[in-house]
Structure 1
């Protein structure tokens, strides 16, 4: 029973790492996009992408929000967003890579970094609620739990391996 729970938790851990890895790659792509595109071109792209939806429903909240956000985007806000996505994406990819390589140091580092990012997201939610950010925060909380469980399993496995090595050497 305990072994199947551990295997199930490990599968969810790997799935969570895949989601975080893909998220990190998408953040890098978004950062590169923001670095390359001028704000006025971003607004034109937003208008182009939402024009069909807005022609059918001029009151569409999401389409209007996309256009408004891009119209109000300053150069400094664009650069902040690009650097934020770049750093966030790189950190996620590096942590996911090291977690999947089962490097024990990566577990507490990941828990700390994801914990801090989650606290920041909760603060952002308290200032301005966003369903999307709320869902991402919930996913992050689940991933933090999965990382914690996997770390516990890995440490136990390392301890058992060390004990077995000590037993085999003690016979000499």
Structure 2
């Protein structure tokens, strides 16, 4: 049972990384075409209702604060980071979905490099969001290592886990 739950967490984590990578690609592309002022106004519009209800909302305040600190070169850096990070995450997910076990070490290395950068960011500019992402990335790396050591391709884990999740109860014998 524990093994199946870990398999499910791994699959959800991989799918989340793919979705996150797609969102990062879109966000990075958008940043290439909008001004910091437009980003700030959009952040204020998106968070206005939440901040009216709760002026101390952590996520809404982080969004507004982050948008307010975007300017010139930082926009280009954030855009490049999001594009690169998103592209690598999507490439890893696609490679895991269609590839062989040989991709696992590369995936762990790429995620490990991003993890190292996030640890650096935590030291230089501590933030709850980066801390949470760092922990999640560490868990995904561990689960990827676990799958690699077990000698299974993602397709096999996917099939077995889906079968387990949607299994039909067996009728009891009389």
Task: Tell me the TM-score normalized by structure 1.
Answer: 0.77
- Could you tell me which residue of structure 2 aligns to residue 122 of structure 1? 119
Q: Which moved more, 1:53-62 or 1:96-105?
A: 53-62
Give the Å deviation of 1:20: 0.7
What are the ranges of 5 or more consecutive residues in structure 1 without an aligned counterpart? Answer: 157-172
Deviations 1:85-134 (A, max 9, x none): 11111111111111122422211111111111111111111222211111
Question: 2: CA distance between counterparts of 1:142 and 1:59?
Answer: 30
Give the Å deviation of 1:65: 4.3
What are the ranges of 5 or more consecutive residues in structure 2 without an aligned counterpart? Answer: 154-174
Alignment of 1:14-163 (within 5 A): 14-56=11-53, 62-154=59-151
Bigger radius of gyration among the two = 1
Q: How many correspondences in the alignment?
A: 153
Cα root mean square deviation, aligned: 2.4
Give the Å deviation of 1:58: 5.1
Cα pair distance change 1:65/1:97, threshold 3 Å: closer
Q: Is the 8 A contact 1:14 1:100 kept in 2?
A: no
Question: 1: CA distance between counterparts of 2:49 and 2:86?
Answer: 32
Q: Give the helix-richer structure, 1 or 2.
A: 1
Q: Which moved more, 1:105-114 or 1:4-13?
A: 4-13
